[in-house]
Amino acid sequence: MKILAGAATDVGRVRDTNEDAFLVDADLGLFAVADGMGGANAGEVASHLALSTMHAQVAASTSDSLEDTLRQAIEAANTAVMAEAAADRAKSEMGTTITAMLIRGDRAVVGHVGDSRLYRVRWGRVEQLTEDHTAVAELVKVGAVKEEDAHSHPWAHCLLRVIGREGVEVQLTDIDIASGDRLLLCSDGFSNSVGDPSWLTLLDAKPPTEFAADLVARAVSLDGKDNATAVVVAIGTEHAREARQSLWKRFRKNVAAALHRGDAADD
């Protein structure tokens, strides 16, 4: 299937460094975001090292299995980040999230560690395809915290899985992709800023590169306390694109209110 993709990242309005990183390789069918942590510039090192290691591993892989390819590549990223942390005391606490999608033909698999996210936008419906590996997400699952309160909970940013830790478990999920789908990989700085993701149906409105830039600019204008990153992947043919655009026109009325709120915040 034809794939178009674009990405954008922004340091935000408060922080001095951008610890987010992204990867877009449409030829390889590999797309990812990583959100680093660890003080000084260690988070930046961790996220970039993790993605470059994963990228090289996927490019060199001879496996026919998407799952094996992505799992091994993310495990290699984990090993690389741990080795770098062990070699330099200033980086000893560094780590990163990874949310990566590998597409071959009409198959796709997601490898996920942490609280970056993957959303799929299909025919006007937005679905989150990853679960956050946070303490608060577990509390929501067992009903101890309401979903709408999760964002402000003290444990909202307490990660249960991190790249750069011994024996990290990579969550691998097969996902269904079809012509016309739009997929969004994003860091928590993006998802926390924009809140309810229903307006992501606007992903059909512009080419991926332009739209990723718009999404990140919107996230920064709404909040800006964290680094924000978005990778937009558009799947399908030009014909499907036209069909989506006509659906988008009909749907636009329904999201006009959300749009208005966002535009007001931009000004």
Residue 34 in contact with residue 116, Cβ under 8 Å? yes
- By C-beta, is 189 or 236 nearer to Ca ion? 189
User: In the complex, what is the shortest distance from the CB of residue 236 to Ca ion, in angstroms, rounded to a whole number?
Assistant: 30
188 touches Ca ion (CB under 5 A)? yes
Structure tokens at 194: 């924009």
Of 75, 214, 223, 226, the one binding Ca ion by CB under 5 A: 226
Residue in 165, 161, 217, 157 with CA at minimum distance from that of residue 190: 217
| Lookup result for tokens 């992709």 | 177
Residue in 17, 31, 44, 58 with CA at minimum distance from that of residue 209: 31
- By C-beta, is 108 or 163 nearer to Ca ion? 163
- Please report, as residue ranges, which positions from 164 to 183 form the binding site for Ca ion (by CB under 5 A): none
Residue 219 in contact with residue 19, Cβ under 8 Å? no
43 touches Ca ion (CB under 5 A)? no
- Residue 212 CA to residue 209 CA, distance in Å, equals 5
Burial class (CB in 10 A: 0-12, 13-18, 19+), 5: buried
Which stretch in 29-37, 145-153, 241-249, 252-260 sits in contact with Ca ion by CB under 5 A? 29-37
35 touches Ca ion (CB under 5 A)? yes
- By C-beta, is 225 or 249 nearer to Ca ion? 225
User: In the complex, what is the shortest distance from the CB of residue 191 to Ca ion, in angstroms, rounded to a whole number?
Assistant: 9
Amino acid identity at 178: A
- By C-beta, is 44 or 181 nearer to Ca ion? 44
- By C-beta, is 190 or 211 nearer to Ca ion? 190
189 touches Ca ion (CB under 5 A)? yes
- Residue 214 CA to residue 140 CA, distance in Å, equals 31
38 touches Ca ion (CB under 5 A)? no
Residues forming the site for Ca ion (CB under 5 A): 35, 188-189, 226
